[in-house]
A and B are shown apart, each in its own frame.
Chain A
Amino acid sequence: ALIAFFCVPTDFVRAAPVKQFSKTADIEISGVITSKDDGSPLPGASILVKGSSNNGTTTDADGKYRLNVPENGTLVVSFIGFTSQEVQVNGRKTLDIVLVSDLKQLNEVVVTALGMTRQKKSLGYSIQEVKGNDLVQSNEQNVLNSLSGKVAGVQITSASGAVGSGSRIVLRGNNSFGNNQPLFVVDGVPVSNFSTDVGSGGSVDYGSAISEIDPNNIASMSVLKGANAAALYGYQAANGVILITTKNGKGSGNKMSVSYSGGFSTERPYILPKYQNQYGQGKYGEEYMWKQYQSGAITLGDIGADESLSPATYQDWAQQVGFSYKDGLGNGVNDGVDESWGPRLDAGLNIPQYNSPLDANGNRTATPWISHPNNVKDFFRTGYTIDNSLAVTNATENGDTRLAFSNQKQVGTIPNTDQKRYTIQLNTTQQLTKRLKTNALINYVRTENDNLVGQGYNSNNPMQSIGGWFGRQVDMKDLEANYEKTFANGMPYNWNNNFHDNPYFNVYNSTHGRKKDRMYGNVSATYKFHDWLTAMVRVGQDWSSERRNEITYNKSNSTLTSMADKTWGGGKFKEWQYSLSEFNADLILTGGGNIGKDFSLNYTAGANYRNNQQINSSLGADQLTVPNLFTISNTKGSPVTSMRTTMLRSNSIFGQASFGYKESLYLDLTARNDWNSTLPSDNWSYFYPSASASWVFTNMLDINPNIIRFGKLRASWASVGNGGSPYLLQAPYIANAAGFNGTTLYSISSTLPPLNLKPEKANSTEIGTELQFLNGRLGLDATYYDKVTTNQIMQVNISNSTGFEKLQLNAGEIQNKGVELQLNLGIIRKPEGFNWDMNVNWAKNSSKVNKLYEDPVTKQKLEAYTITSAWSLTVDAIPGQAYGVMRGNAFLRDEATNAIIIGSDGLPKYTSSPKVVGNVMPDWVGGITNSFSYKNLRMSFLLDMRKGGDVFSVTQWFGLQSGVLEPTVAGGIRENGLIVGQDVLKGEKVMLENGEANNIRVGARDYFQSLWGGKETAIIDGSFIKLRQIELGYTLPASLTNKVTWLKGAGLSVFAHNVALLYTHKSNVAHIDPETGFGVGNDGLGIEQYQIPSNRSVGVKLNVKF
């Protein structure tokens, strides 16, 4: 909700009441200062009598003030982030004042590197802050997803609608061939964003560590997009930094206050593929083939059917040639296939099916062959999310404390998937002496999942069968009702026993559970020697221990030991343990002040020690002696085990100096030197500087403030180094997971070590401007950047004929150039009435690969780097081309006319080597937020959009081949056959090999199955417009809450998140969510494989403060 109970005053604002400097006291006036946005009281707001220099006060923790003023005086009320107001006293004794937030705060203070708060105007680089309130408007539990559409130049890809999934976040494009994730810093100390690779093929997505941060505890997030903003965090920050500041107890006054926030929402899938409902399971059951047979155009042998048959009616054809169930293993007529090219549905046919009754001989009887149009939809259920958060805050003159407890429970839309999370956070600051301050931030997070669904092209993803390889006639409710049963022949109850598990057997029995305990936080002591010297010592630790348990029940398809004899292996399991530790110790010296009247100087010098350790191990069994007893001692055969430890250390020193002149010219200089254990000793030390400048020209030039109220130009240049990951320097021998009869199998690492690894370097230049027009009602923030990453430490795929699969090296040069725009419009501004604000974010980034690698010895050059691949569709980086070129086999085309060449069989021909078929990078991304308010009512909605960014959709590719998708029946093609170029591929020019027009009629199955030969029909333009969020909120007016002494505020909001997909490109014939990916790494870039449908969330949120 928008209701802010916890204002976050900056260090510039004293929260506690300060001494009053009253002069003559004509009358005493009192009242409450509240925020227009959400009605919350504003502690620390300043009230000054106009014309006096020292008659004033600030509000207390509840936003209340009391002041002696001249009877006819004028109050000037101001607060950072809000437009100042002048109010005539006119003899009133009480005066409540509502402040309207400033569109673009002139004196906005933002959190920058190392947790330092800085005036935004003094920064020579782009930084964008999102307030905590904006993150908790819906029940979204992954804080990254809440950022979507709110920050220019940030691309967030939510992996799927599965509970617990991670999200990939990229700031300003892909700088790197490898990891492109930014660094996450909580209250000044880096924290882990550990995730395990989900891979392009997919597996279970256990999310990323950053999603464990409870949005309820976040006061603000600062997005430092470029290297410029991040120079002080060093090598980890090459892809930008996201600084998270958590809530503290400041501003709560000298008494304890308690606040509660609760949300409830329900979730339903809102983007499902469009399936056909005209033809069921089988092969060649389509009416067209029957007609062809009747007319003598084809024989049974032509389609692989038994030539001794003689079907006389379509019913005969359907049952004898199309589909007839015997055992789901191929012993009936096409009953082993998982395609929907069978007989026509709802046409009065009767066909033996898996759930048909048995006759006296044990054979399935023929039963009505009818459609179940909602069968996929029926699989999903309504999920829900409950979010409870309780916080106790207190502040005294010597310090403040906030203790929060929260729990979230999510129940997924996939049956039997869930997530529970418990968070305890303590944030306490104590001013021990006048000079010594201590702060402790401690978070404990427990995450529990009974089951997370498998994803990707994977048998433990239920969408692989029901969403892609499916009999469209199957009744999902029947599968649900019987999933624990087995057939008379011993096989599990399912529509197909050849390839798939019953989807309910899958989600109820083959589970992926997880328990994770995480403690993170930091403790610091700050001693102020003098204005010119403050020293801080800080120790931060992020520690987690996680256990994952992946279970496959006996009688899952993958536990078969003999399909012929119907024997099973008793089940399988794998249990993983992860132990992670990220330790940071910092010593930071700061100081600053004014030099003379016009100059200011602030400086920082510091040192960092970082130690990162990761340990993981696994135990598992492929077969079990006692079925479904998942213990290692119950293993049949040899257990499957693994262990791995990695460690890295770095030491750094850094410094920053900031010069200011007349509050209008600023210059920042930074320098850093890192020593990384991951590099060879000659190279483990490296240095990099940055410089940035800001010129607030409206403070220097005589410009009419009614035209340009605020104007700033900024420019910066920065360099950031990076040392890579541990153990890259040698090629070790790798042992197979299991020995062969006790003999260890050792092979040379498939990754070739580097010759002389050097630190990588990213140099970026950025210029920008911030402008405010029309008295602040129009604000513009524009940035242009150019970033070049060189000497990148990366692994590249090399030709396997080298004897290796990957080469670890310093290579490459990627250049990212882009523009980011933010526009703030105060369209209607009536402090006491209707307000309409609009915020527009827009960013365009182009990534180009300038260079790859040339071997220094042989001068052989790498021609391309494959970022990821699936089904031989590769996503490549090729020198001279844009990052993320997609290549795959394509239609064979005539060089002159670009026409698709059709073979003598009437089907398209394909190239036998890959061609460029797309690019994964979007042209631009943007978001538009509209906010309306009227008195205590607020409404806002967010449109989120992307232009371009191709996706290879396996759902579409295979869904066309398997005949489940809607286009496979469109236009009567299963009744009449089709001519390529007329009935399908309509927008394309086609021609026969001899140049003549194509008039060869073919069966629909033959055409759609031929799409296997190329990838073009599976490349989806990823453009979309989504109505991301609608929110409607109401805050109890302060006048009301003032009357109830124990109630300090209350508000209620209703919201809908992921409301609608308003636009998707016409190439998306499968109708998938074009915003898709796997995990947080590059592995799933641009590849969609049976995505778990995204969810719409609708709910309410209540906030109460006592």
Chain B
Amino acid sequence: CTNEFEDINTNPNSPVEAPITNVLAYVIQDFAANYFDAWGNMNEPETYSGHLGKIQYVDEARYMYRSGTISDLWKKVYRDLKNAQAVIDQADKTQAINMKAAGMTIQAYIGQIATDRWRDMPYTEAIKGDQGFITPKYDKQEDIYPLLIAQLKTAADLFASGSTDPLGEGDLLYAGKVANWQKFCNSLRLRVAIRISGINPTLSKSIIEEIAANPSKYPVFSSNTDNAFFNWVGTSPYIEPWNNDFRSRDDHGPSAPLINTLTTLNDPRLPVYAKPAPDDNVYRGVEIGPISSPTISRFSRIGARFRENAAGFSPFMRYSEVLFIMSEAALKGWNVGGQTAEKLYESGVTASLQENGITDAAVATKYLNETGVKWDGTTTKLYTQKWLALFKDGHEAWAESRRTDVPLLPAASGSPFPGHTRPPFRYPYPAEETTLNGANSAASVADVKDNLWGKQMWWDTRTGVN
């Protein structure tokens, strides 16, 4: 009488195997949905990086984070890393070289954003619950970065091997164009390399020079059409997340530092990035993190390109960022294929203007000659322009502002944690880690001070900040 039991207990609702292209689709969409929305991007990375302030419900901008958000982002990052691993593993089994490389690329991309938030975290033993690792050990960021570097190198070499296996319908980033993935992969290698340029210049240099020396094997973004932008459907439930938030909330505005910088520089992007205040039609940025919300009609809003298009984009990585990285490398005297730092800087600025619809060369030229913009061989202008270009990419902007200290931002005046001189260094660990993985997390948890500060990122070589 048990002969039907196996049939009865076979799940009729869900498959045991799914096509990997659909899993790749999940990873891309899920990360975009959770790391580029109000909770994962606008409230904290974008306010910590100085791009945005909160005009209502100012809690996050003054470091009163929701612990549930932290837990959720932690959960999502590992879910996405795990599913990316499923893509890699299955692709490996079926010799799908491009698919494997794409899985490795997206996994490393996510992994870097994660460690740039939490510093030390489970990595080598992580996402191995199915191998019995139910309380994975913590790895230091200095040990995670080499793994990211190695993984991206492997992916880059796989792409370079010229396989023809398709990425399928699940490539929601580039619609199956493997060449673009290859560029994304190598561009990411530049991002990782420049991040560690202060703490490990030798390694940084070798990566950048390897890529620059062999553009046919290791191509990088060469125009804005290569941008790794995740484009949204525009109908529920796949509405661009900033726009989705704006449907029912009006909580964010461009910050005073952002508006002031754009105004000072006579930046043509100002009307793209921001709208004037409803009260008096003046561009006025909001203070980041006062104790209480202001009367919001006195302040600017985010520009329509970034928040008012349901079918808008989530920027995973931009062409202009690549140019700024190369410019910085050139400024350090590294060999980036013969291009000068100045040229690369100007190309970066121009690329950003073009991305924002400012295609008139005369406008660009005029802007490049503004006092605050004109190349003078200092990193301050380079970093400022990179910071401006990274608008809407809170992860990279926050990381870079911690690495470069440009723009120089004070801690929020409404902070409940007095005594800090800079915006947060990091995210706290989710409360669940202290419960479910308490022994392993204890040392890292102890490195955290006032939830959002404490031990600096491995690559954060700033001194005298806290």
Contact = CB atoms under 8 A, between A and B. Distances in A.
B14 A803 contact: no
Given A284-B292, A622-B237, A645-B13, A803 B129 contact: yes
B56 A336 contact: yes
Given A331-B297, A684-B2, A730-B11, A799 B436 contact: yes
Contacts of A857: 131-132
B294 to A, nearest CB: 6
A333 B295 contact: yes
B379 to A, nearest CB: 33
A584 to B, nearest CB: 15
B85 interface: yes
A745 B416 contact: no
B132 A855 contact: yes
B160 interface: no
B342 interface: no
Interface string A309-349: 00000000000000000100111111011000000000000
A649 interface: yes
B79 A732 contact: no
Contacts of B172: 740-741, 743
B74 interface: yes
A83 B152 CA distance: 88
B18 interface: yes
Contact of B16 (A684, A733, A855): A733
B14 A735 contact: yes
A272 interface: no
A558 B121 CA distance: 37
B236 A637 contact: yes
B29 A745 contact: yes
Interface in A598-650: 609, 622-623, 636-638, 640, 643-649
Interface string B1-35: 11011101111111111110011011101100000
A645 B85 contact: no
Contacts of B127: 801-803
B78 A747 contact: no
Given A564-B250, A747-B79, A872 B67 contact: yes
Interface string B424-463: 0000101111111111000001001011000000000000
The interface centre, meaning the residue of A302, A651, A677, A856 with most chain B CB atoms within 10 A of its CB, is A677
A727 B9 contact: yes
A558 B245 CA distance: 11
Nearest to B7: A677
A557 B248 contact: yes
B64 A799 contact: no
Contact of B78 (A800, A871, A874, A889): A800
A330 B296 contact: yes
B16 A730 contact: yes
B15 A733 contact: yes
A229 B290 CA distance: 63
A329 B55 CA distance: 11
B434 A800 contact: no
B292 A862 contact: no
Contact of B428 (A678, A731, A876, A912): A912
Interface string B401-437: 0000000000001101010000000001011111111
B431 A803 contact: no
Contact of B30 (A331, A681, A747, A872): A747
B236 A798 contact: no
A863 B79 contact: no
Interface string A852-890: 010111101111101000011010100000000001110
Tier of interface size on chain B: 35 or more
B293 A330 contact: yes
B14 A749 contact: yes
Contact of B434 (A904, A913, A1013): A913
A304 B22 contact: no
B121 A801 contact: yes
Given A748-B86, A857-B131, A872-B71, A304 B433 contact: no
Given A913-B445, A914-B431, A803 B85 contact: yes
B316 to A, nearest CB: 16
Interface stretch (B133-141, B214-222, B347-355): B133-141
B298 interface: yes
Nearest to B23: A746
Contacts of B287: 304
Contact of B291 (A304, A643, A727, A888): A304
A43 to B, nearest CB: 45
A750 interface: yes
A799 B136 contact: yes
A943 B371 CA distance: 82
Interface in B306-329: 308
A884 to B, nearest CB: 14
A855 B133 CA distance: 8
Interface in B99-134: 121-122, 126-134
Given A747-B83, A800-B74, A336 B9 contact: no
A846 interface: no
A824 B247 CA distance: 64
Interface in A262-288: 283-284
B85 A498 contact: no
Contact of A331 (B5, B83, B131, B278): B278
A874 B431 contact: yes
Contacts of A745: 22, 25-26, 29-30
Contacts of B343: none
A305 interface: yes
B79 A336 contact: no
Contacts of B291: 302-304
A426 interface: no
B134 A798 contact: yes
A832 interface: no
B114 to A, nearest CB: 10
A863 B435 contact: yes
Interface string A676-697: 1110010011000000000000
Interface string B147-188: 000000000000000000000011010000000000000000
Contacts of A752: 129-130
A801 B136 contact: yes
Contact of B293 (A337, A637, A647, A889): A337
A684 to B, nearest CB: 6
A804 interface: yes
The interface centre, meaning the residue of A726, A799, A874, A888 with most chain B CB atoms within 10 A of its CB, is A799
B174 to A, nearest CB: 14
Contact of A801 (B297, B431, B433, B451): B433
Contacts of A637: 235-236
B132 A856 contact: yes
A907 interface: yes
B438 A727 contact: no
B9 A912 contact: no
A129 B307 CA distance: 64
B81 interface: yes
A336 B68 contact: no
Contacts of B432: 797, 799-800, 866, 874
B248 A858 contact: no
B135 A563 contact: no
A1013 B65 CA distance: 10
B374 interface: no
A740 B238 contact: yes
27 contacts: A304-B293, A330-B55, A331-B278, A562-B247, A564-B308, A623-B235, A647-B8, A727-B10, A732-B15, A734-B14, A740-B172, A740-B233, A743-B169, A748-B86, A798-B436, A801-B127, A803-B128, A803-B129, A807-B129, A855-B133, A866-B432, A874-B431, A874-B435, A887-B435, A888-B431, A913-B434, A913-B445
Given A861-B135, A864-B436, 13 more contacts: A283-B292, A303-B292, A675-B2, A733-B14, A736-B26, A800-B71, A801-B121, A801-B136, A802-B127, A803-B127, A805-B75, A863-B436, A874-B431
Q: Which 6 pairs of residues, A with B, have the shortest CB-CB distance?
A: A802-B129, A803-B82, A304-B292, A637-B235, A803-B127, A732-B14
